[in-house]
Amino acid sequence: MHFFFTQARINSVYFTFLSTIKGLYYISFSLKARDDVLTELQKRYGSAVTLEENAEIHGPVITQIREYLAGRRRVFSMPIDVAGTTFSKMVWEAIRAIPYGETRSYQEIARAIGKEKAARAVGQAAGANPLPLIIPCHRVIGGTGKLIGFSSGLSLKTKLLTLENSYKEK
């Protein structure tokens, strides 16, 4: 499989983007430098994967993330090409439908996809989300309203929800 790869520093965080010819495939954000991220990607996807550095292809998503972090964008618009099970893709589509500045519980997502007893499986699918921010899994919370489960940590989840709430009314 061939991926286009870009790493961009936005604020103090390194965003890593992978795309196929069809669309955005994977995003991660961390404080790790480029070479460490490349090593992780090779481990994750194996030696059969080729990575071609291409900043131009990711220009629009980088611009949209900057706009989002500045409170000027509420919805992302770009082609995506995610890999996952049918169930995971249903969960991710339901998560994408959560409006900016709002939250839903894992149970509410399970109900929305017609799998009322699958809240735990919804949590697993959210945890496997390959496109955080684009598929805004930070908007999914526990049934009691508690912030739980976010692959990039609860501190970042809190910051993203606070950011959205601060711009929600504007």
Q: Quick one: 96 and 146 in the same domain?
A: yes
Lowest mean pLDDT among 77-86, 134-143, 148-157, 158-167: 148-157
Is 154 inside any structural domain?
A: yes
Is residue 160 part of the annotated active site? The answer reads no
Of 69, 97, 125, the domain-final residue: 69
Q: What is the pLDDT, as a whole number, of residue 155?
A: 84
Q: CA–CA separation, 60 vs 137, rounded Å?
A: 21
Domain region containing 129: 86-168
Q: What is the pLDDT, as a whole number, of residue 119?
A: 95
Q: What is the pLDDT, as a whole number, of residue 31?
A: 65
How many domains does the chain fold into?
2
Cα–Cα nearest to 55, from 5, 21, 15, 9: 5
Q: What is the pLDDT, as a whole number, of residue 25?
A: 92
Confidence grade of residue 140 (pLDDT, cut at 50, 70, 90): very high
Q: Quick one: 59 and 132 in the same domain?
A: no
Q: CA–CA separation, 154 vs 152, rounded Å?
A: 7
Is 81 inside any structural domain?
A: no
Of 36, 69, 102, the domain-final residue: 69
- The mean per-residue pLDDT over the stretch 60-75 comes to 92
Q: CA–CA separation, 12 vs 151, rounded Å?
A: 18
Q: What is the value of pTM for the model shown?
A: 0.88
Catalytic position from the list 137, 141, 160, 161 = 137
* Environment class of 89 (CB within 10 Å of its CB; exposed 0-12, middle 13-18, buried 19+): middle
| pLDDT, tens only, 101-118 | 999 999 999 999 999 999
